[in-house]
A and B are shown apart, each in its own frame.
Chain A
């Protein structure tokens, strides 16, 4: 279907606005604990992210240090600076009772993941630049190998 540039821009704007309800709707277990902590007591957190700031007792910093929480019943040893993800229950007095914890990253492995992910991103970017041309008349991307076919 051939759409005018104006129609296409409009479609893209509508699609971008379509992201919004998802981004703003509360997801169960993802409610921000740093806003009105006590109202969340008793709730389950499925994937609470925090950085270990103290190990005895284990204390984590959450959401850019908006909140500090003590973690109880950890099933593993953690080190200072570890990024951990917790599945557990919200208890009074800023305590999380952990059911399961995984270490999402220690600084070196995290850095390595970012680095090789960046390389992968460059690889794909290079391929997009190589395999797609911009049709300035249409303001659209054209797969280069199909373009060759149509010129033959």
Chain B
């Protein structure tokens, strides 16, 4: 994974662009895009309750990783959709999905040890070679939020400030 700040910054930029095309993407829906960018990161529950503890405890193989798979995030998006009022559901579903998509796309470029796409397509087993194998950065690269912030700022400037006639 990329660090979360970079994920949110890129989701912010994407939200600005989407809003400039679809006027119904108001501030609340742009927030839903940012929230979507956090969804695959639920997998980091691993840091609090490691999967191996649960494997030992339950006596069966257990892994949090599929929470970040397409299957897992789809369930998470649906949960997010059910907790909002009926009028907003379709839009929340779409904006959360856009946010999740930005997350998955950014993570394609993260350096991985093996040339596979990992558990992304669970239950389809890991695919070799990786469909797209572009190693651009590590999640712990210190410089990563800077281009993220630059992209977010430029997008915000051209969609919000430069077009604001008020």
Q: Are B85 and A63 in contact, with the CB atoms below 8 A?
A: no
Which residues of B87-126 have CB atoms within 8 Å of chain A's CB atoms? 87-89, 91-92, 111-116, 118-119, 122-123, 125-126
* A23 with B113, Cβ < 8 A, contacts A15-B79, A113-B140, A123-B8 known: no
Chain B residues, CB < 8 A from A19: 66-67, 72, 75
Per-position binary interface string of chain A over residues 61-75, scored 1 when its CB falls under 8 Å from any chain B CB and 0 otherwise: 001101000000000
* A22 with B5, Cβ < 8 A, contacts A46-B118, A46-B126, A124-B35 known: no
Q: Are B63 and A30 in contact, with the CB atoms below 8 A?
A: yes
Main DSSP-derived SS at the A contact region: mixed
With both chains docked as a complex, state the minimum distance between the C-beta of A25 and any C-beta of chain B, in angstroms: 7
Q: Are A27 and B119 in contact, with the CB atoms below 8 A?
A: yes
Interface: A112 (CB within 8 A): yes
Chain A residues, CB < 8 A from B41: 117
Chain A residues, CB < 8 A from B92: 143
Nearest CB to that of B58 among chain A residues? A24
Interface: B64 (CB within 8 A): yes
Chain B residues, CB < 8 A from A24: 60-62
Which residues of B37-53 have CB atoms within 8 Å of chain A's CB atoms? 37-38, 41, 50, 52-53
Of A63, A102, A135, A143, most buried by chain B (CB within 10 Å of CB) is A143
* A16 with B85, Cβ < 8 A, contacts A22-B123, A27-B66 known: no
Interface: A127 (CB within 8 A): yes
> B27, B52, B75: which contacts A63 (Cβ < 8 A)?
B52
With both chains docked as a complex, state the minimum distance between the C-beta of A56 and any C-beta of chain B, in angstroms: 22
Interface: B71 (CB within 8 A): yes
The size of the chain A interface, using a CB distance under 8 A, is 64
Q: Are A141 and B83 in contact, with the CB atoms below 8 A?
A: yes
Bound: A31/B126 CA distance, A: 13
> A63, A105, A138: which contacts B140 (Cβ < 8 A)?
A105
Chain B residues, CB < 8 A from A87: 113-115
Bound: A85/B114 CA distance, A: 9
Of A63, A109, A120, most buried by chain B (CB within 10 Å of CB) is A120
Interface: B142 (CB within 8 A): yes
Chain B residues, CB < 8 A from A113: 3, 139-140
Interface: A54 (CB within 8 A): no
Which residues of A118-152 have CB atoms within 8 Å of chain B's CB atoms? 118-121, 123-124, 127-128, 130-132, 135, 138, 140-146
Interface: A52 (CB within 8 A): no
Q: Which 7 residue pairs of A and B lie closest in terms of their CB atoms, listed nearest first?
A: A143-B28, A22-B66, A117-B4, A87-B114, A63-B52, A87-B113, A120-B5
User: Can you show 16 pairs from A to B with CB atoms below 8 A apart?
Assistant: A3-B86, A19-B66, A22-B66, A22-B69, A23-B62, A23-B64, A27-B119, A32-B61, A87-B113, A104-B139, A109-B140, A121-B4, A132-B28, A143-B91, A144-B28, A146-B87
